[in-house]
Structure formats: C-alpha cells, structure tokens
Structure 1
C-alpha cells in the first residue's frame, strides 16, 4: 500500500509569506545582514497557537523532544523572539536510521507585540514539549487633554 500525501499550495504560500515577514521584521531593526542570516539559521519553525482573553494573550509553541534549556525567549523593542535548536540523534554502529521525518536544527520565531502588552509581566512555562507564554495586558494610556488658551 502506498502512502499518498496531498499537496497544499496554500500552506506552502503561507510558509513563504511567514519567512518573508520574518525577514522584513529582522531587516527593519538590525540591518539587511541579519535578515539574510535568518534563512541559514532557521531550519524549521515550531507550530504556534495565539489566544486572547480579557486579561492576557497566550502563546503556545509545540517543541516536542526539546528541553527548556534548548529554548530562549527574549523581548526587545516590542518584539518577542522564541529561538532554539532541536539536536539530531547521531547514527551509531548498532542503530541505523531508515526514515527521518522529524525536522532538526535551529529555529527562530518573532512576534510583534500589541501596544497593550506589559512586557515586564511575561511568564513562561515549559511542560510536555509545549512552551506556554502568558503576556498580561496593560491598561491603555488615557489620552491627555491639553487646554489651549486663546489670546
């Protein structure tokens, strides 16, 4: 019995657009060079769910087979970065690899944070191969009224 995989052109286009957007996000802050390095450094991208409640945003990233020590989360200039590396198991004399479908190597995901996120309150939890980030919302700044004197 053969295994048929359905080609999804929308998924491939979405992946291409995500890479393009990440490239633009990097080149905006640190110049063209780092944006080009993204393609050599990022071998894969973990699947991510983003949820919103009245109090916070939650980002959950699937990182099976990884430990919390393999993942780094940073926030800089309103951009949240999740990066890390899933290391490949080396072949040994007593073990042959017949099929490898899991993706290994480095990854980098970046997200521009909304203005109503309190960057100082971000909490991270890593359990069962899922990284959960909680980003508390801050109170929106009230517009300040300035009285204008007419002379």
Structure 2
C-alpha cells in the first residue's frame, strides 16, 4: 500500500499553470515604478531597458523590436529623458485565426531622470536590430581626471651655519 500526503489545495498541473498565467498577466498590466528616477506609463507593452555608465557617458539600451525607427519619439526636457513609441498589431491575419498571442502590443512611454553630470547638448541615438541605444555624454567637469605625478628623490635640506654678526 502506498501512502500519499494529503494536499487539499493541490490541483492538476494544467489548472495551476493556467491560474498562475492568469495572475501573472493581471499583475504585469500594472505599471511598475522602481525608485524615483524612472516611471512607466500604463500600457500593454513596456520595453525592457539596460542602463550603464562609464567614465565618459551614460548609455540606455531599449528593446523595441517590431517598431519602426520613425515611430520612436525621444525627447529631453528638464533633465527628464522620455522615449515613446507604439508596436502595432498586424491586421494581416484575422484575430480568430490565431492560436496564441504572446507578444505585447500597444503604445509605451518610458521616462528617466538624467543626472546633472550629463551634457544635454550631446545626446545621440541609434537603432539597430530592434535595439534603441541612447548615449548621453558626460560634462567635461564630471569626467575623472588623471594627473601624472613624478616620483623622484628630493635633495635633503642643507644646514646653514649661523655666523655671528
């Protein structure tokens, strides 16, 4: 005889997976705010972003596949960088012919607070293979400076004998 542990809330795997998927989709629709430096608007499509910094610039990389370059709007106003766009649903196929739709569609807005160390006059953006890269150069005074210090021996101070006047 096999002994099995009683688990009253255990449901068949397919039911649990379906419930988890539904709960995840509900919570993914809510906007997430991480700190005060970034805000997300409501919408079905929120592109992920990587932000990194080196000694000379701050770089943002947004994944925006399926969006044409001319459909992206990048603006900087009062130290806030805003990226807007929209991924449109292809109407070539009728919706009832789809078996599954997992990609997100809709408009999005991502906003980032730009640090004071960034030179707002020298911002560049490029778009390649569905990745939007925005480079924000730092101001010259914010870049680290290296000063060459020569190391050498210094002559010992000479002792002067006092003479009577």
- Determine if the TM-score, normalized by the shorter chain, exceeds 0.5: yes
Alignment CA distance shift 1:137-1:22 (3 Å): closer
Please name the residue that 1:52 is paired with: 53
Please say if residues 124 and 133 of structure 1, whose CA atoms lie closer than 8 Å, have aligned partners that are also in contact: yes
Runs (4+) of structure 1 exceeding 2 A deviation are 1-9, 19-23
TM, length-normalised to structure 2: 0.62
User: How many equivalent pairs are there?
Assistant: 123
Please name the residue that 2:91 is paired with: 90
Q: Quick one: distance in 2 between partners of 1:19 and 1:86? A: 23
Please name the residue that 1:123 is paired with: 124
Higher helix share: 1
Rg larger in structure: 2
Please say if residues 91 and 97 of structure 1, whose CA atoms lie closer than 8 Å, have aligned partners that are also in contact: no
TM, length-normalised to structure 1: 0.67
Unaligned runs of 5+ in 1: 27-37, 142-151
Q: Quick one: distance in 1 between partners of 2:118 and 2:35? A: 25
C-alpha RMSD of matched pairs (Å): 3.5
Please name the residue that 1:34 is paired with: none
Unaligned runs of 5+ in 2: 1-12, 143-165
The DSSP-based 3-state class of the residue aligned with 2:33 is helix
The alpha-carbon deviation at position 44 of structure 1 amounts to 2.2
Alpha-carbon deviations, 1:106-151, whole Å to 9, x = none? 000000000000111000000000000000000348xxxxxxxxxx
Please say if residues 67 and 85 of structure 2, whose CA atoms lie closer than 8 Å, have aligned partners that are also in contact: no
Q: Quick one: distance in 1 between partners of 2:36 and 2:92? A: 36
Q: Quick one: distance in 2 between partners of 1:87 and 1:116? A: 36
Alpha-carbon deviations, 1:47-105, whole Å to 9, x = none? 00001110001100000111111211000000000001000012546x82111010000
Please say if residues 60 and 135 of structure 2, whose CA atoms lie closer than 8 Å, have aligned partners that are also in contact: yes
